Amino acid sequence: RNATESMNLVAYSYGMANLKAGDEILVSILEHHSNILPWQMVSRATGAKLVFLECEPDGTIPKEKMDEAFSEHTRLVAVTQVSNVLGCVNDIPELVKRARACGAVILMDAAQSAPHMPIDVQKLDVDFVAFSGHKMLAPMGIGVLYGKQELLEKMPPFLTGGEMIESVTRDGAVFAELPHKFEAGTVNAADAVGLHAAIDYVKSIGFTAMHQQEVALTRRAMDAIGEMPHVHVLGSEKP
């Protein structure tokens, strides 16, 4: 239904089944709480340690901070591509490279980036991507979770019943194939059509034109805010 539910699905289905005491979950300090609370839950339930990846005052995460946060015990990295607070764009390729070096999987919260930039999941090589439709002009209550097939096939269902079943007996059940295994209950078909239409609309405008307008509006807002002595701007001073 949204990025929040998508990240909870990964936390419950992948995190609870694969993380244990001694493991570390690396979460950036830039995260929306929807990408913090699920990992706090996993940490409490499994004994895995929650580690925060710190940032500079402008929101950037230098390699020195990554050096401090990553370790041989890092098993899952949960990080936003674009901060919902500061608007800064994280270096996902560098974070993926470091996750691979220590055998960790990486979840990318794309709720703030999907409406503003193209995302090539194969090029980025991220394991999971989550985003919400309503932030890119789609109806509310529809979202997307992308996951690598080999990971999703091994993960147990998050919710059970309805469309995620192939067959049911007195003693058990056979779950449907991907992606239906993770789509319990009646599918929100109408809003999925609305999300498709929204994506087509965004693509028809083009990210370049959208970015130019966003920068122009941001510059205008920051110039006006800069004239207010009682306002302190967090993050970068560059529009």
> Are the C-beta atoms of residues 46 and 21 closer than 8 Å to each other?
yes
Residues 143 and 1: beta-carbon distance below 8 Å: yes
Residue-level length of the chain: 239
- pLDDT, tens digit (0-9, with 9 covering 90-100), for 93-127: 999 999 999 999 999 999 999 999 999 999 999 99
CA dist 24 and 14 (Å) reads: 14
Q: What is the pLDDT of residue 76?
A: 98
* % pLDDT > 70, the chain: 100
Contacts 24+ apart (CB under 8 A), 198-206: 198/133, 198/136, 198/137, 198/138, 199/136, 199/138, 201/137, 202/115, 202/136, 202/137
pTM: 0.94
What letter does residue 48 receive in the DSSP assignment? P
Asked if the model's pLDDT at residue 234 lies above 90, the reply is no
CA distance 235 to 221: 14
Q: For residue 61, give both structure tokens.
A: 């995460």
Report the pLDDT value the prediction gives residue 157, as an integer from 0 to 100.
95
| 3-class state of residue 28 by DSSP | strand
Q: Which residues of 181-191 are buried (b: 16+ CB within 10 A; e: fewer)?
A: bbbbeeebeeb
Give the pLDDT confidence of 166-206 residue by residue, as tens digits.
Answer: 999 999 999 999 999 999 999 999 999 999 999 999 999 99
Peptide bond connecting 179 to the previous residue in cis, omega within 30 degrees of 0? yes
DSSP secondary-structure letter at 171? S
Q: Would you place residue 86 in the very low, low, confident or very high pLDDT band (cuts 50, 70, 90)?
A: confident
The pLDDT of residue 164 is 95
Distance CA 31, CA 84 (A): 8
Distance CA 106, CA 5 (A): 17
212: which DSSP letter?
A: H
Beta bridge partners of 50: 25
> Residue for token digits 């990240």?
7
Q: Does residue 74 contact residue 99 with C-beta atoms inside 8 Å?
A: yes
pLDDT of residue 124: 97
